[in-house]
Amino acid sequence: MPALFRRSLLLVALLAFWAVALRGLGAASFWYDEIFNADLALNSSPGQVLHTLRTSQPYPPLYLLLLKGWAWLSGARPYAPGLEPGGALETLLRFPSAAAAVLMLATLPPLTRHIGRATRLCWVAPFLLAFHPTLIAYARDTRMYTLWGFWVLLALLGLVARRPLLWGLAASAALLTHYFSFFPLTAAALVAFLQEATGRRALVLAAPFIPAALWGLWALPVTVGFGSFATISPPTPIAFLNELGPDVLTAGEWLAPLSRALPLAWGYGWLAVGAVGWILAAARSPEGRMGAAALLLGAGGLLVFWQVRPVHGPRYLFWALPLVALGVAVLLGELYRAVPYAGLLLSAGATVVALLWGARATATLLVAPRPVWHPDFRQAVALLNTRARPGDQGLTVAAHGIQVLRVYRTAVPFVPGPEIGQRVQPETGARLLDAHRPPEGGRYWLLLYQDDAVDPGGVILGTMEQAGGYRVEMLYTREVRLYAYALPEGARFQPLRPERELGAVFEGGIVLRGVAVHREERLVPVYLFWELRAPQGGPPLIGAVHLAAQLGERPITQQDRPVLNEYWPLARLPLGEVLPNRYELVIPPDLPPGTYHLYALLYDPVTGERRRLETGEDMADLGEFLWP
């Protein structure tokens, strides 16, 4: 196969990927991770970026500093959706990810030549990934993952090509882009050292780790102490392989919500084929051993690390996607060396199958609405901007929702609410709302995003309803809710409290102290006020509210939810504190007028067994409910 033809094939693969990656790049709203990066790039100085990353966020600084430089160079700025045209900002800030993905693909052919010694098939790996939905998805995201993948591949190329400067610069860049670069790069460097154990070689291999180590020491509070607020258990080997195989290699993370995911066996199969290719490469050459160590030992090291620090997910394995594709290309190269025509035919067939599947999956991905995966912040702020009135004010719950409004601007003044790690109690909720209340005639906007992490009982909403507030504007978009509340004249925010005292004692030391019922057309929020009198362990208990005609009859409507939620399980909650818990009942549109009854119960989610009251009953009577 002539060299010019091979270069033409590579160019076709790169141009095809580029065209797809750029198509409608700015059409979708930023989601929160993109908002976080955009906010730092647009609204913070380089010093502020470094301070944020070294004190509170678990990322090295290179990607965000580069993104900030690009934002300045390109003239990117925040804008007001609904009042200004959208799409330009999103396109500008996503462009570096698409460009890094192209560079990543362009790095695969020289790696194939050095590792697989299959010059004539160096076009295979780029074609395997040209339309790959995982690569396309990350290339259209304002995050560091494609740049990270490029640096890892470039560092590996410098290692196998024995180009110390390239290894040093690219490996340093990878480690300063994502901490998890440590695992594939350390594995490859150790194998390289064992093959040539000299002092000079050790210095060359260790040099890229020095800048990352210095940064890690400077950012010690984050590098040592960071953990996810949500309780995440360490991945089992099967869960890890599922994230690496089906989720990354066959894009299950992206395609499953669209009901287009391939069977799990396809992901495991691609992983197995890539691993076999690397094992053959390791048996044939020192370069193959370095690459095999980067993938196999690097992934194994990450699995071990996640047993200690269980902050895991498919995105942290993105770097393995091009390495697995490279392993597949190496295996096809070995077949080509043994049986040239059969190997060439099989390589062409594999790339055609990969292209056809990738094109179909990516087309589905690109036309699907963004809220399938993420909330549409741009739509929410556009509603806010087009419906806002003079005197309106707002509150974001949780506090980091304020970053949305620094990227997507609004004239309505908002203040941040409680931060992750805090929990809203009735007294603090009333003080917070009262401190930032709008003037008479103004509406109170609430932007709720991940509010369950700081307000698990729905105290903010209940306090607003208790003061007589009622919703006049609302929008739901996946995890985001935007409400505008009108307040009656002279409304006062008082700590959320029961309308009816109960004192129902459940076995196990849990007391239902009271209930409050609010109404908004067919939505009926019911607040149960729990109190713990004994420490709780085991799985979180589920509380439920039923609306029924009579005790013992089938519920007309109900809601079951943990007390309080997965962020604040009973085992974390203090004894003696009264804990409001919001349950929302939706009244059926055909419910006849009449008198009904509300009941509450507690049960174990594993066994379904109900906790009994002191009276022996398993349901607490909350009183009558008149409809309408």
State whether 311 and 389 are in the same domain.
no
Q: Give the confidence band of 118 by pLDDT, cuts at 50, 70, 90.
A: low
State whether 465 and 505 are in the same domain.
no
State whether 181 and 306 are in the same domain.
yes
- Residue 589 belongs to a domain: yes
Domains: count for the chain: 3
State whether 505 and 471 are in the same domain.
no
Alpha-carbon distance of 480 to 497, in angstroms, equals 26
Domain with residue 607: its CATH number is 2.70.50.60
Q: What domain range includes position 146?
A: 11-26+93-221+237-369
**Looking at 325, 350, 369, which one is the last position of a domain?**
369
Which residues, listed in sequence order, are joined to residue 613 by a DSSP beta bridge? 506
Other CB atoms within a 10 A radius of the CB of residue 450 amount to: 19
pLDDT digit string (tens) for 468-498?
A: 999 999 999 988 999 999 999 989 999 999 9
State whether 161 and 265 are in the same domain.
yes
pLDDT digit string (tens) for 323-364?
A: 999 999 999 998 888 888 888 899 899 999 999 999 999 999
State whether 323 and 206 are in the same domain.
yes
pLDDT digit string (tens) for 139-196?
A: 999 999 999 999 999 999 999 999 999 999 999 999 999 999 999 999 999 999 999 8
> The dihedral of CA 302, 305, 306, 312: what is its sign?
negative
- Residue 395 belongs to a domain: yes
Cα angle, residue 324 at apex, residues 322 and 327 outer, rounded to 5°: 110
CB 482 within 8 A of CB 474: yes
Nearest to 564 by CA among 510, 623, 501: 510
State whether 392 and 249 are in the same domain.
no
529's enclosing H/E stretch is strand 523-532
pLDDT at 116: 74
CA dihedral of residues 155, 193, 283, 129 (deg, nearest 10)? -10
Mean pLDDT of the chain: 94
State whether 410 and 335 are in the same domain.
no
Q: Give the confidence band of 373 by pLDDT, cuts at 50, 70, 90.
A: very high
- Residue 75 belongs to a domain: no
Q: Is 209 left (phi over 0), alpha (psi -120 to 50) or beta?
A: alpha
- Residue 79 belongs to a domain: no
pLDDT at 156: 97
Could you tell me how many residues make up the chain? 628
pLDDT at 232: 66
Say which DSSP state 246 is in.
I
pLDDT digit string (tens) for 51-66?
A: 999 988 889 999 999 9
- Residue 268 belongs to a domain: yes
Alpha-carbon distance of 391 to 535, in angstroms, equals 46
Half-sphere exposure of 200 toward its Cβ, with a 13 Å CA cutoff? 1
Token code pair at residue 324: 């697995």
State whether 420 and 302 are in the same domain.
no
Alpha-carbon distance of 532 to 573, in angstroms, equals 8
State whether 357 and 392 are in the same domain.
no
- Percentage of the chain beyond pLDDT 70 is 98
State whether 457 and 541 are in the same domain.
no
State whether 476 and 404 are in the same domain.
yes
- Residue 6 belongs to a domain: no
pLDDT at 228: 56
pLDDT digit string (tens) for 529-548?
A: 999 999 988 788 999 999 99
- Of 307-311, 588-592, 593-597, 610-614, the one with minimum mean pLDDT is 307-311
Which residues, listed in sequence order, are joined to residue 393 by a DSSP beta bridge? 444
pLDDT at 39: 98
Token code pair at residue 528: 């149960």
Q: Give the confidence band of 199 by pLDDT, cuts at 50, 70, 90.
A: confident
pLDDT at 222: 83
Q: Give the confidence band of 619 by pLDDT, cuts at 50, 70, 90.
A: very high
Alpha-carbon distance of 326 to 287, in angstroms, equals 13
CB 322 within 8 A of CB 108: yes
- Of 80-84, 268-272, 335-339, 435-439, the one with minimum mean pLDDT is 335-339
